[in-house]
């Protein structure tokens, strides 16, 4: 955003000593405000080594440095750190005070997975993906719950965790410490444990502590903010509880809601001006925001009016994909298609590849690069070929190879999935918000395969699809809502906004699902269309019912 700052932003930039929470709406220029605050401190000759700005990604830290015009190597970054990198800095610097000897390479155990696998095997337990995820999650919650935190906030450890996996936890900790190893949680856990010691804490006091995306913090991270600001009490946090959607990683939006309990005497202000979106989009966000706080009540924008919000029903996913892509074609380079899951985005990846439409895929991977899809394609490629390693049991290969050669591509993939027991392998995977929902993906690739005449035609297409994502000025952006966090486009199409998808049928936290929807509708600058197949999301029922339908769509 451009200067000059508005009155609320100037107040944030210039606020003085003390603890401050700034509730910032989407598109409010909060990063610019936070960066400008650091700049003002530097202009007032505050030493850089007395300023600590904590973020969640290295990219965000780099972005702040770039805005400030400060060039540093990644090993320096002084006061611009992720929570985990700062925690690790504390652990390495204070390693002599740890209750164990730190190894030269403390991460050689691959975040504890090797130790967990050995423990499961030695106790006669199954070592599968589900079991590994369950144990890692339980150990993470137990480890974080063991850290001394204010009692009312310490709710991370469940009785179920202790009942099912507690018997393995002490041995896990013993083996990790015996090896001098750290897992991902230890970067925070051990750092906070060290900072709880007055002598060590005194060496890690910062005069000015700043935190971006405060709604995504967990209890440990908030405790870290308390400890390193104890001497001076100057804490500056920007947050929006309605944009918290990382509960599966331990994020606690209630930390923001109870900010004054963490920091007695704190002052809370708002940054309500949205510089990104049209009034129509801002008003829609007010309607569906799950947490109706002071910020939501005062959200505003000075941008000119734009086009109405459209909520569009479709009778099938294929109809939705075709219709949305027709709209996207009008301005592909400034358009994004967002969905709750990679499986839903996979339909758009496929259709774009079939039509030769350029697209850019958000995130690390998409539908075609999930483990279950790569497994299916690798098996299909192997079985549709003629060569196999001598060691492979050919009596198993040849009958299956002979069968699939005479089948339609979809039926052939079904046969391969059945023979490889992939449904059994993936059916018990634990649900988490960014997961690829493997069973649904397996069903989807079978549906796609039925669109081709032969297995070889499908395999040729799948190979192209696996490498189709590319950046271009005229490429449409495809991605999950989680991957779209912090980004913006002129036109956003939120697809699959139906019951069972958003909220997802396996979701445990309905309010977090509602916040996920809120994040998606706060991404567009000019145009927002939401579509669904079947029963509309419960989060949209009320706003849909308040408006008249026109041409089989709802216009707000």
User: pLDDT tens digits for 367-407?
Assistant: 788 888 888 998 888 887 755 555 555 666 778 888 888 89
- Among 28-42, 81-95, 415-429, the least confident range: 415-429
Which residue did the predictor score with more confidence, 365 or 533? 533
pLDDT of residue 435: 45
Which residues in 76-230 belong to E strands, given as ranges?
A: 80-82, 208-211
Average pLDDT over residues 47-54: 90
Q: 490-501 pLDDT, tens per residue?
A: 999 999 999 999
Burial of 412 (0-12, 13-18, 19+ CB in 10 A): buried
Instruction: Please say if the pLDDT value at position 429 is more than 50.
Output: no
Burial of 188 (0-12, 13-18, 19+ CB in 10 A): buried
Distance of CA 378 to the CA centre of its chain: 28
Instruction: Please say if the pLDDT value at position 31 is more than 90.
Output: no
Phi-psi region of 509 (alpha: psi -120 to 50; beta: other; left: phi over 0): beta
Residue-by-residue DSSP string for 323-372 = HHHHHHTTSGGGEEEEESSHHHHHHHHHHHHHHT--EEE-SS--GGGSHH
pLDDT of residue 332: 94
Give the percent of the chain with pLDDT over 90: 50
- The mean predicted confidence, pLDDT, of the chain is 85
The whole-angstrom separation of Cα 518 and Cα 512 is 10
The reply to whether 280-366+469-555 shares the fold of 7-91+190-273 is yes
* 468-to-41, 105, 366, 454 alpha-carbon distances in Å: 46, 38, 11, 21
Q: 520-548 pLDDT, tens per residue?
A: 999 999 999 999 999 999 999 888 665 55
The alpha-helical segments, DSSP class H, found in 27-168 are: 30-43, 58-68, 83-93, 113-122, 129-145, 159-165
Q: 285-311 pLDDT, tens per residue?
A: 999 999 999 999 999 999 999 999 999
pLDDT of residue 434: 42
Which CATH superfamily is 280-366+469-555 part of?
A: P-loop containing nucleotide triphosphate hydrolases (3.40.50.300)
Distance of CA 141 to the CA centre of its chain: 19
Q: How confident is the model at residue 431 (pLDDT cuts 50, 70, 90)?
A: very low
Average pLDDT over residues 27-49: 90
Average pLDDT over residues 124-136: 78
| Triad 502, 506, 507: Cα angle to 5° | 60
- Among 112-121, 384-393, 410-419, 506-515, the least confident range: 384-393
> Within a 10 A sphere around the Cβ of 211, how many other Cβ atoms?
25
Burial of 308 (0-12, 13-18, 19+ CB in 10 A): middle
Which CATH superfamily is 7-91+190-273 part of?
A: P-loop containing nucleotide triphosphate hydrolases (3.40.50.300)
Instruction: Please say if the pLDDT value at position 211 is more than 80.
Output: yes
The set of residues, in sequence order, having a beta carbon less than 8 Å from that of 163 and lying 6+ positions away, is none
pLDDT of residue 60: 67
pLDDT of residue 432: 42
> Within a 10 A sphere around the Cβ of 540, how many other Cβ atoms?
21
Which residue did the predictor score with more confidence, 179 or 69? 179
pLDDT of residue 437: 65
Q: How confident is the model at residue 318 (pLDDT cuts 50, 70, 90)?
A: very high
At residue 492, φ and ψ (nearest 5 deg) are -125, 130
Instruction: Please say if the pLDDT value at position 13 is more than 50.
Output: yes
Beta-bridged to residue 53, according to DSSP, are 80, 210
Pairing of strands 359-361, 476-480: parallel
């Amino acid at each position: 955003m451009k200067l000059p700052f508005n009155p609320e932003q100037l107040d944030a930039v210039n606020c003085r000593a003390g603890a401050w929470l700034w509730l910032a709406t989407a598109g409010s220029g909060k990063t610019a405000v936070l960066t400008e605050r650091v700049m003002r401190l530097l202009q007032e000759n505050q030493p850089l080594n007395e300023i600590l700005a904590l973020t969640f990604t290295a990219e965000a830290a780099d972005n702040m440095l770039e805005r400030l015009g400060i060039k540093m190597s990644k090993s320096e970054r002084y006061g611009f750190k992720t929570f985990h990198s700062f925690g690790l800095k504390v652990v390495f610097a204070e390693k002599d005070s740890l209750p164990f000897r730190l190894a030269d390479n403390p991460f050689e155990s691959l975040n504890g997975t090797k130790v967990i696998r050995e423990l499961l095997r030695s106790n006669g337990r199954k070592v599968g993906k589900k079991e590994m995820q369950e144990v890692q999650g339980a150990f993470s919650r137990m480890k974080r719950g063991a850290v001394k935190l204010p009692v009312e906030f310490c709710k991370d450890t469940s009785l179920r965790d202790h009942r099912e996996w507690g018997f393995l936890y002490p041995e896990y900790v013993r083996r990790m410490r015996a090896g001098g190893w750290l897992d991902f949680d230890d970067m925070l856990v051990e750092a906070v444990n060290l900072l709880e010691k007055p002598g060590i804490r005194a060496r890690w006091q910062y005069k000015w502590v700043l935190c971006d995306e405060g709604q995504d913090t967990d209890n440990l991270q908030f405790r870290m903010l308390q400890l390193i600001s104890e001497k001076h009490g100057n804490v500056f946090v920007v947050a929006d509880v309605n944009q918290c959607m990382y509960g599966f990683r331990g994020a606690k939006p209630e930390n923001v809601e109870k900010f004054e309990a963490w920091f007695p005497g704190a002052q809370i202000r708002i940054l309500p001006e949205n510089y990104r979106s049209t009034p129509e989009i801002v008003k829609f966000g007010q309607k569906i925001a799950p947490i109706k706080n002071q910020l939501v009540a005062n959200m505003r924008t000075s941008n000119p009016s734009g086009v109405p919000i459209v909520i569009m029903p479709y009778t099938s996913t294929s109809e939705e994909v075709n219709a949305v892509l027709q709209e996207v074609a009008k301005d592909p380079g400034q358009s994004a298609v967002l969905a709750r899951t990679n499986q839903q985005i996979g339909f758009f990846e496929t259709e774009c590849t079939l039509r030769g439409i350029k697209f850019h895929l958000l995130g690390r991977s998409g539908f075609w690069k999930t483990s279950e899809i790569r497994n299916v394609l690798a098996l299909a490629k192997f079985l549709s070929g003629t060569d196999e390693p001598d060691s492979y049991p050919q009596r198993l290969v040849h009958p299956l190879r002979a069968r699939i050669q005479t089948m339609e591509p979809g039926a052939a993939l079904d046969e391969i999935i059945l023979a490889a027991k992939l449904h059994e392998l993936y059916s018990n995977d634990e649900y988490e918000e960014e997961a690829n929902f493997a069973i649904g993906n397996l069903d989807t690739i079978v549906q796609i395969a039925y669109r081709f005449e032969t297995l070889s035609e499908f395999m040729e297409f799948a190979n192209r699809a696996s490498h189709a994502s590319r950046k271009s000025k005229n490429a449409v952006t495809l991605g999950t809502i989680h991957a779209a966090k912090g980004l913006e486009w002129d036109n956003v199409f939120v697809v699959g906004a139906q019951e069972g998808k958003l909220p997802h049928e396996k979701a445990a936290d309905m309010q977090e699902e509602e916040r996920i929807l809120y994040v998606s509708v706060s991404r567009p600058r000019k145009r927002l269309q939401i579509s669904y197949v079947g029963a509309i999301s419960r989060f949209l029922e009320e706003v849909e019912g308040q408006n008249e339908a026109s041409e089989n769509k709802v216009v707000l």
